[in-house]
Chains A and B, each alone.
Chain A
Amino acid sequence: MKVKLKSQLFDSDFLRKLERLVISSKITLADGASGNRKSRAKGSSVEFSDYREYSIGDDFKRIDWNAYGRFEKLFIKLFMEEREAPIHIFLDNSKSMDWGEPNKSIASRRLAAALSYISLASFDKVSLICMNNTVDKFKPDLRGKNSFSQVLNLMESLEYTGTTDIYNTVSKYNLKSGKGISIVISDFFTQGKLIDMINYLQFKKQEVYICHILAPQEVSPEIGMSLRLIDIESGEFRDVTSSPALIKTYKKVYNKFITGIEEICKGRGVNYIFMESSVPAEKMVRMVVNGV
Chain B
Amino acid sequence: MTFYSPWAFLGLITIPVIIILYLLKQRHKDYTVSSLFLWEEVLKDLEANAPWQKLKKNLLMILQIIVALLLVFALAKPFLNAVGSDTPHVIVALDTSLSMKATDVGESRFEEAKIRANKLISNLKPGTAVTLISMGKSVNIEENLSSDRARLLDKLSKLNASNTTSDIEDAESLISSIVKQNPESRVVVFGDRAINIYGVDVEFSNISNNGDNFAVTMMSHTKTEKGITVLSRISNYSTKDATIPVSLYVDKNVFDAKNVDIKKGETANVYWNEILPEASLIETRIDIKDSLTMDNSAWNAVNNTKKNKAILISESNVFVEKVAGLYNGIELYKTGYESSDEWKGYDLYIFDGFLPKKIPHDGNVMVFNPNENELFEVLETVEYPVLEEMDESIFRYVEGFDFSIGKTKTLKVPTWGRAILEVNEGCAAFSGIYDNRRVMVFGFDVHNTDIPLTPAFPIIMANSLDWLLPDSINNAQNVYSGEGIEFNIGPNTQKAFVETPSGEKIQIAPPFPVKVFDNTEEPGLYTLRQKTAESEQEFYFTVNVPSQSESNLTQSEDFVEDSNKAQTEEKQKPVNTGMNLQPILLWLIVIVLLIEWWVYTNGV
Footprint of B on A, CB under 8 Å? 96-97, 99-100, 104, 164, 187, 189-191, 215, 218, 221, 223, 225-234, 236-246, 249-250, 252-254, 256-257
Contact = CB atoms under 8 A, between A and B. Distances in A.
A245 B603 contact: yes
A234 B34 CA distance: 10
Contact of A96 (B30, B35, B40, B57): B35
A238 B39 contact: yes
Contact of A242 (B33, B45, B603): B603
A138 B258 CA distance: 120
B34 A187 contact: yes
Given A250-B42, A253-B45, A245 B604 contact: yes
Given A226-B29, A245-B603, A104 B34 contact: yes
A218 to B, nearest CB: 6
B36 interface: yes
Nearest to B29: A227
A243 B29 CA distance: 15
Best-buried of B42, B57, B603 by chain A (most CB within 10 Å)? B42
A244 B602 contact: yes
Interface residues of B, number: 25
B38 A238 contact: no
A238 B40 contact: yes
Interface in B549-604: 602-604
Contacts of A227: 28-31
Given A226-B26, A244-B603, A246-B603, A238 B43 contact: yes
Given A228-B31, A256-B41, 16 more contacts: A189-B34, A190-B37, A227-B31, A228-B29, A231-B36, A232-B34, A233-B34, A236-B36, A238-B36, A239-B28, A241-B57, A244-B602, A245-B602, A249-B45, A249-B46, A253-B42
| 8 smallest beta-carbon distances between A and B, as pairs | A243-B603, A189-B35, A228-B28, A99-B34, A189-B37, A96-B34, A253-B41, A227-B31
Contacts of B26: 226, 239
Contacts of A245: 46, 602-604
A225 B60 CA distance: 14
B32 interface: yes
B603 A232 contact: no
Best-buried of A191, A237, A257 by chain B (most CB within 10 Å)? A237
Interface in B13-64: 25-26, 28-43, 45-46, 49, 57
A237 B33 CA distance: 9
Contact of A257 (B38, B49, B603, B604): B38
B35 A240 contact: no
Nearest to A225: B29
Contacts of B603: 241-246
22 contacts: A99-B32, A164-B35, A187-B34, A223-B31, A225-B29, A226-B25, A226-B26, A228-B28, A229-B39, A230-B31, A231-B33, A232-B33, A239-B28, A240-B39, A241-B603, A243-B603, A245-B604, A246-B46, A249-B49, A250-B39, A252-B45, A253-B38
A100 B32 CA distance: 10
A191 B29 CA distance: 27
Interface string B464-492: 00000000000000000000000000000
Nearest to B33: A229
A221 B37 CA distance: 14
A218 B34 contact: yes
A187 B45 CA distance: 22
Nearest to B49: A249
B42 A246 contact: yes
A166 to B, nearest CB: 12
Contacts of B40: 238
A125 B29 CA distance: 48
Contacts of A237: 30, 36
Nearest to A98: B34
B65 to A, nearest CB: 18
A258 B42 CA distance: 14
Contacts of B43: 238, 240
